[in-house]
Chains A and B, each alone.
Chain A
Amino acid sequence: MEKKLALGNEAIARGLYQAGCTFVSSYPGTPSTEITEEVARYPEVYAEWAPNEKCAAEAAYGAAVYGCRSFAAMKHVGLNVAADLLFSASYAGVNAGFVMCVADDQGMHSSQNEQDSRHYARASKVPMLEPSDSQECCDYVKLAFEISEEYDTPVLLRTSTRVAHSQSFIRLEQRTEPPMRDYVKNPAKYIMTPANAQKRHPIVEARTERLIELANTDRLNRIIPGSRKIGVITAGIAYQYAREALGDNATYLKLAMVHPLPTTLLRTFAASVDTLYVIEELDDFIEQQVRALGIECHGKDTFSLIGEYTPERIRAKILGIPSAQVYDAPAVPVRPPVLCPGCPHRGLFYVLGKMKLTVSGDIGCYTLGSAPPLGAMDTTLDMGASIGMLHGRNTVRPDEAAHAVAVIGDSTFIHSGITGLINAVYNRSASTVIIADNSITGMTGHQQNPTTGVTLKGDVTAAVDLTALCHAVGVKRVRVCDPYDIAELEQILREELAAPEVSVIIARRHCALLKTVKRGKPYTIDASACKGCRMCMRIGCPAVSFADGHAAIDASLCVGCDLCARMCKFGAVKKGGAV
C-alpha cells in the first residue's frame, strides 16, 4: 500500500477524502489552516473559506442534515465563535455525519490564549476524538463520521500544534463515498423550540450513556502493555511524549476518545497497575473525572497546567532520570516575530505611534505593530474586539475620543468587525476605525477571503466592497489611503479623529509576501549623506540597522518598498543601484 509522509493536517484532509466527506467549510486559524487548504485539492470534495467559524460550522451542519458527510475546521478560539451552533446541534443530532475539528495550541505558538477545548465536548455533550500522529488523524476522521452517524451526534476531533504540524507516515487508501442520505422533514428533531428541545435533552443524556459503553470497548481505547508498576492514562500528543519517556517501563491506557470517558475501563486499568499517572497537557480534564470515580492518581501534582510537555520532563518526573542536556543555554537575545520587510502595516503603525494615539488592536499580522520600536497598540483580545472595545472606551471617555483608533485587518473585519461597526454607528459612537486592508488573510499564510474576489478553489467571485459596506451600515465618512503615504495618512487621521461621528479609514496596500507584489531592488544607504539621525530606525524594519554612526540596509532582507527612504530627510537612502 502506498504510504506518504504527511502533516497531521494533511492526514486529516486525506481522511476526509477517504471517508467520503463531500462538504468542508472553515475559517483559517493556526494550527488548523492546512486541513482545508489540503482538502481543497480533491475535486471530489467541495471546500470553502467562510467569513468566520460560526458561518463555517453552520454551513457544514446544514450539508450534514440534508444528507452529506460534512466537516468544519477551526483553531481553539474559533470554536468559541462556532459554539452557538454546536450546543444546539448536539440536541438536534445529524443525518449524514458531521465532524468539527478544533486545533488547540499548547504553548501558544500562534494564539492569544491556551484554552483547553476538551471542555467544549463535555459542556456540549458530544464525543471528542484525539489523534496522536498523522495515521491516527486519518483514521479518526473516518471513525468520527461513523460515530456521528451511528449515535446521531456531531463529533469533535481535537488536535494540537504538535499533531497538526508534525509529519509522519500515512497509508493512502481509496475514497468510499456513502450515498447521499434522504432528508425527511422532522420539526421535532431539527426545530429547537423549548418544547422540542425539552424532548431532545433526554435523548442526548441517553446517547452519552451509550457512548460510554462504546468507549469501554477496544474499538476506541486501547491498552499498550508494559511494566505494571506504572500505569499511564493519556491521549493525543501527550501519549507520544509519555511513550518516548517511559517506553516499556509503563503500561498505557491510550484514549482515542477523550469524551465521554470509559468508566469501566478506567476502573479495571487502575486496578491493574501499582502507581497511576494521568498525563495530559493543559487542564486536569481526564484526571478530575478519574478522581470522581474514586480512583487515586497522580496528575497535576506532578505536571503543569501550563504549556507543552516534553519527553525529558516526563522521564525526569516519573523515572527520576535527569535530562541528557550537555550544554547550558548561552545568552542569546530573544527573536520575536516582526512585521516583514515591505509590510504595508509598518507605515500605518509608524503614524499611529507618532501621533501618540490609543490603539485598540485586533488579531492578525498587524498585532505585531504592538512590538517596539513601533509599539503602537494598547489592546488585543479577540477577533473583532478592536471596534467594540474602542466604542466602549469612547463612550466612557467622550473627551478623549479624538485620541484613539481601532485597527482591524480586512479578513478580521469581515469575520467579526462588521457587527462592532454596526453597533458603533447605531449607538452614535465617535469612533475612528482603520481597516488595514492588505487584500489577503495574512498571518495564517495567505488565504482568500470575501474581500479578495477569489474562492478557496481559485474561482473568481464577488468581492465585498469595503467602502460600500461601511456606507451601507450608516458610516458617512469613509476614506481610502495608502499606508505608505505617511503624510496623507496623518492628515486624514487628523480630520477623521476630529469628526464627532463614526469614520472608517481603509489603509490599503497589498501584503508584501503576495506573489503579485513585485519585489524591488534593495535600497542602499549613502553613508556620506547619512547624518545618523536614526529616523529610518523608527519604522522597525528588520532590514535596517545602525552601526558606526550611520544606517545600513541588509540587501538580503530588503524588498525595495521605499518606506525608509520616505523617512529620510537627507536623501541618504538610495533606490537600488543608485549608489
Chain B
Amino acid sequence: MLNIMIVGVGGQGSLLASRILGSLFEAAGLEVKLSEVHGMAQRGGSVVTYIRAGESVASPLIPKGECDCIISFEESEALRYLPWLKKDGTVVVNTQHIQPMPVLTGAAKYPEDIRGQFAAMNVNVVAFDALGAAVEAGNARCANVALLGAASKVIGRTPDEWHAAMRKTIKPALLDLNFKAFEMGLKAG
C-alpha cells in the first residue's frame, strides 16, 4: 500500500494534484481511494487530502505513522501533519510561508527554522521554492505540479506514466506549462 498526503492552505490547488495522483495509480491498475476537503476549510484553512493506492484499500483515511510521502504546499503545514509520516517516510515541502491569521494578529508565532526541526528529528526532507519554480516555468499556479515533480522520485512510476496522468487531468492548453513545472520540481527533488 502506498500512502500519500497532500497538505496545505485552502485554495492552493491541492485538488488537481490529488486528481493527477489518482489518475496515475488508476492507470497502474491499482485500487485507489482519495479523501478530499471541500467546504469551509477551503477558505484559507489547513487542508489535507489523503491518497491511498494498493491491491485493496478500505479506509480512505491514512492512519498516523503510515504515510509514505507528505507533499506540503506550505512549510509549516508539513510540520502540522508530521504525526502521519511513517518511519523513513519523506516530506516534500514548498518553502513558501503563508502566515495563519493567529500569527498575523500576533496571538501566535510562526514556527522557527522548520527545516532545522526536521533535521533534528532525522526526517527525510526535500525542500524547495515550488512557487519560484512555477513562476519560472511560466505560471505561479503550477506550484502544485512542481511539487509533484519533486515527489515523483519517492512515489515512483515512469515519466511517461506521469505525463499520461497529467494529460488526463489538465487542460491541453496548459499541458506544456505543467510539464515544465514538473521537470523543474523533478530536478529540485
Contact = CB atoms under 8 A, between A and B. Distances in A.
Q: Is chain B a partner of chain A in the same complex?
A: yes
B129 to A, nearest CB: 12
B13 interface: no
A167 B41 contact: no
A337 B63 contact: no
Contacts of B158: none
A554 B131 CA distance: 13
A339 B104 CA distance: 14
Contact of B10 (A34, A243, A337, A444): A337
Contacts of A327: 65, 82-83, 85, 121, 123
Contacts of A444: 39
A542 interface: yes
A537 B37 CA distance: 29
Interface stretch (A77-85, A211-219, A348-356, A366-374): A366-374
Nearest to B63: A312
B32 A338 contact: no
A203 interface: no
Contacts of A166: 33-36, 60
A324 B66 contact: yes
A540 interface: yes
A445 interface: yes
B32 A325 contact: no
Contacts of A371: 101
Nearest to B101: A338
B85 A240 contact: no
A329 B83 contact: yes
B40 A109 contact: yes
B34 A167 contact: yes
A323 B64 contact: yes
Contacts of A537: 104-105
B40 A110 contact: yes
A467 to B, nearest CB: 29
A441 B24 CA distance: 34
Contacts of A30: 38-40
Contacts of B36: 7, 165-167
Contacts of A328: 83
A337 B41 contact: yes
A333 B36 CA distance: 22
A212 to B, nearest CB: 29
Interface in B124-147: 131, 140
Nearest to A541: B104
B44 interface: yes
Contacts of B32: 5, 167-169
A311 B87 CA distance: 19
A337 to B, nearest CB: 4
B108 interface: yes
A375 to B, nearest CB: 10
A460 interface: no
B80 interface: yes
Contact of A165 (B35, B44, B82, B110): B35
B109 interface: yes
A326 B76 contact: no
Interface in B29-73: 31-46, 57-61, 63-66
A567 to B, nearest CB: 14
Interface residues on A, range: 35 or more
Interface in A311-364: 311-312, 315, 323-340
Contacts of B38: 30-31, 33-34, 110, 165, 445
Given A5-B34, A168-B33, A542-B98, A338 B82 contact: no
A293 interface: no
B39 A443 contact: yes
B77 interface: yes
A175 B59 CA distance: 30
Given A30-B39, A336-B101, A372-B105, A162 B61 contact: yes
B104 A332 contact: no
A522 to B, nearest CB: 11
B176 interface: no
Contacts of B82: 327, 329-330
Contacts of B86: 324, 326
A540 B105 contact: yes
Nearest to A108: B40
Interface in A412-465: 443-445
A485 to B, nearest CB: 24
Contacts of B108: 333-334
Interface string A34-74: 10000000000000000000000000000000000000000
A537 B101 CA distance: 10
B79 A330 contact: yes
A324 B43 contact: no
B39 A311 contact: no
Interface string A524-553: 000000000000010010101110000000
B111 A332 contact: yes
Nearest to B66: A324
B86 to A, nearest CB: 6
A248 to B, nearest CB: 12
Nearest to B117: A330
Given A5-B22, A30-B39, A335 B59 contact: no
A162 B123 CA distance: 29
B43 A339 contact: yes
20 contacts: A5-B34, A109-B39, A110-B38, A168-B34, A168-B60, A169-B31, A241-B59, A244-B58, A310-B61, A323-B64, A326-B65, A333-B108, A335-B101, A337-B10, A338-B43, A371-B101, A443-B39, A445-B39, A540-B101, A556-B96
Interface of A: 5, 7, 30-31, 33-34, 109-110, 133, 162, 165-169, 237, 240-241, 243-245, 310-312, 315, 323-340, 365, 368, 371-373, 443-445, 537, 540, 542, 544-546, 554, 556-557
Q: Which A-B residue pairs are the 8 nearest by beta carbons?
A: A110-B39, A30-B39, A324-B65, A333-B108, A337-B45, A325-B65, A166-B60, A244-B59
Interface of B: 9-11, 22-23, 26, 31-46, 57-61, 63-66, 76-77, 79-80, 82-83, 85-87, 96, 98-105, 107-111, 117, 121, 123, 131, 140
